[in-house]
Amino acid sequence: MVLGRRIPCLSLSYLVAVLAFSHLVAVLGAQKQLRFGQNGNFKILQVADMHFADGKITPCLDVFPGQMRTCSDLNTTAFIERMIRAENPDLIVFTGDNIFGFDATDAAKSLTAAFAPAISSNIPWVAVLGNHDQESTLSRDGVMKHIVGLKNTLSQVNPAEAHVIDGFGNYNLEIGGVRGSEFENKSVLNLYFLDSGDYSTVSSIPGYGWIKPSQQFWFQRTSAKLRRAYENKPQPQKGPAPGLVYFHIPLPEFARFDSSNFTGVRQEGISSASVNSGFFTTMVEAGDVKAVFTGHDHLNDFCGELTGIQLCYAGGFGYHAYGKAGWSRRARVVVASLEKSEKGDWGAVKSIKTWKRLDDQHFTAIDGQALWSKSPAGGRRKKEVGRA
Ligand SMILES: *[C@@H]1O[C@H](CO)[C@@H](O)[C@H](O)[C@H]1NC(C)=O
Ligand SMILES: *[C@@H]1O[C@H](CO)[C@@H](O)[C@H](O)[C@H]1NC(C)=O
Ligand SMILES: *[C@@H]1O[C@H](CO)[C@@H](O)[C@H](O)[C@H]1NC(C)=O
């Protein structure tokens, strides 16, 4: 009888434990589940500079005078919904200045409203910080903590393995190969997210912040760890899986192009930090990064290649962000595509392409271009020669 009485108690706590555990597994599982679809593609939507504030009562900037009366933050919301419907991405990345803090009465409310279309789409999404996110009622730490508490986000405040790291919102995501393929347990595409800071805190250095040595060190170690895993069993690969890097403030290297060697437009200066942090060199040295995506300068939307890395802007997205009347708000889409083996099985990433979409009447797609493509024969031959 004693036993009989105990069993229900035990089974109840057992049930609770099992439920809690399976919830944990489901949460962890959901995070691990980012992978290429059965069509061999993984699509990322980048939304830069929403500058969301108080919603309906927040007016638009830089639209034609005749458009002012009917234009607010809600147009930014409608644009995200439109992008999601048209592109159906696998991941949405918000690259900072998600809210325009000065005009946001309550940072938590503004953040929740800004990300609402992503949240309700049930598509996984992530965000990093810009230089305006902390200007309302929450600090940078507070903003990032609020973001990671929202539904369907894979954002992290900072990586658990980095004990000391500058900023808030440094983390990476591994995108697995197609389920059932030889690459199902490998990360075939690596995404890195970094906090490029807000403003310099060094009195002798004016201007914007930059990616600090502690962050670069974490990036370097993470890139090396991912490369080792990719080069190891199962399906050992030669060289690293391609990597894509997302943050807010462009690097000084974005200024190395002109219209003869970029795709898109440059209609304002490159507002990077006034010093060079060396992060571009760190990425070139790591060897896996194929493209970098930033925001910050709303009137620039180009991609240009320097030393094997594409440096890309997304172009301004938000209606409460400065822009140019008649020059449509826009967003960037990136698609990575897998190669097929002789057996017809999905393999490693073969190519990475991008285009932008304008929030105009026809939702025009512009500036389609290849950012990177794998050259298996060439790459392999070089290595074999090197080893001989
Ligand atoms: C903003 O949204 C309203 C309501 O849908 C629409 O009438 C207006 O044309 C939009 N404004 C701009 C500049 O897109
Ligand atoms: C991937 O891992 C799962 C679980 O450990 C295993 O069952 C499966 O065989 C692995 N797939 C490959 C291609 O190695
Ligand atoms: C782009 O072209 C200009 C000359 O028109 C040159 O000065 C610059 O170095 C080029 N940039 C790159 C990254 O190739």
State how far the Cα of 247 lies from the Cα of 273, in Å rounded to an integer: 13
Domain count, the chain: 1
At 27, the pLDDT band (50, 70, 90 cuts) reads very low
In a domain, 35, yes or no: no
Residue 14 has what pLDDT? 47
At 18, the pLDDT band (50, 70, 90 cuts) reads very low
Q: Which ligand is nearest to the CA of 320?
A: 1
Strands 91-95 and 125-128: parallel
Q: Which ligand is nearest to the CA of 302?
A: 3
Q: In the chain, where do the E strands start and end?
A: 41-47, 91-95, 125-128, 171-176, 187-193, 243-246, 262-263, 289-294, 303-306, 309-313, 330-340, 346-358, 365-373
In a domain, 229, yes or no: yes
Q: For residue 358, is pLDDT > 60?
A: yes
Q: For residue 8, is pLDDT > 60?
A: no
In a domain, 91, yes or no: yes
At 31, the pLDDT band (50, 70, 90 cuts) reads low
Q: For residue 25, is pLDDT > 80?
A: no
Q: pLDDT for 142-197, tens place per residue?
A: 999 999 999 999 999 999 888 899 999 999 999 999 999 999 999 999 999 999 99
Q: pLDDT for 230-252, tens place per residue?
A: 999 889 999 999 999 999 999 99
CA 247 to chain centre: 7
State how far the Cα of 168 lies from the Cα of 128, in Å rounded to an integer: 8
Q: Tell me, what DSSP letter sits at residue 180?
A: T
State how far the Cα of 296 lies from the Cα of 152, in Å rounded to an integer: 25
Ligand 2, atom 6: nearest CA belongs to which residue? 185
| Average pLDDT for the chain | 91
Ligand 3 pocket check for 259: Cβ under 6 Å: no
Q: How far is the CA of 268 from the centre of ligand 2 (A)?
A: 50
Q: pLDDT for 59-103, tens place per residue?
A: 999 999 999 999 999 999 999 999 999 999 999 999 999 999 999
Q: What percent of the chain has pLDDT over 90?
A: 86
In a domain, 340, yes or no: yes
Q: Which ligand is nearest to the CA of 306?
A: 3
Residue 379 has what pLDDT? 46
In a domain, 27, yes or no: no
Mean pLDDT of all residues in 335-347 = 94
State how far the Cα of 173 lies from the Cα of 191, in Å rounded to an integer: 5
Ligand 1, atom 5: nearest CA belongs to which residue? 75
Q: How far is the CA of 28 from the centre of ligand 1 (A)?
A: 40
Are residues 273 and 200 in contact, defined by beta-carbon separation less than 8 angstroms?
yes
Residue 211 has what pLDDT? 98
Mean pLDDT of all residues in 45-64 = 98
Q: Which of 31-35, 68-72, 315-319, 363-367 has the lowest mean pLDDT?
A: 31-35
In a domain, 159, yes or no: yes
Q: How far is the CA of 235 from the centre of ligand 2 (A)?
A: 11
Q: pLDDT for 280-302, tens place per residue?
A: 999 999 999 999 999 999 999 99
Q: pLDDT for 104-150, tens place per residue?
A: 999 999 999 999 999 999 999 999 999 999 999 999 999 999 999 99
Q: Which atom of ligand 1 is nearest to the CA of 71?
A: 1
Q: For residue 37, is pLDDT > 70?
A: yes
Ligand 2, atom 4: nearest CA belongs to which residue? 185
Residues with CB under 6 A from ligand 2: 182, 184-185, 234
State how far the Cα of 95 lies from the Cα of 293, in Å rounded to an integer: 8
| pTM exceeds 0.85 | yes
Ligand 2, atom 5: nearest CA belongs to which residue? 185
For the CA atoms of the chain, what is the radius of gyration?
22
In a domain, 36, yes or no: no
Residue 239: domain span: 41-373
Q: What is the CATH number of the domain that holds 145?
A: 3.60.21.10
Residue 162 has what pLDDT? 87
In a domain, 25, yes or no: no
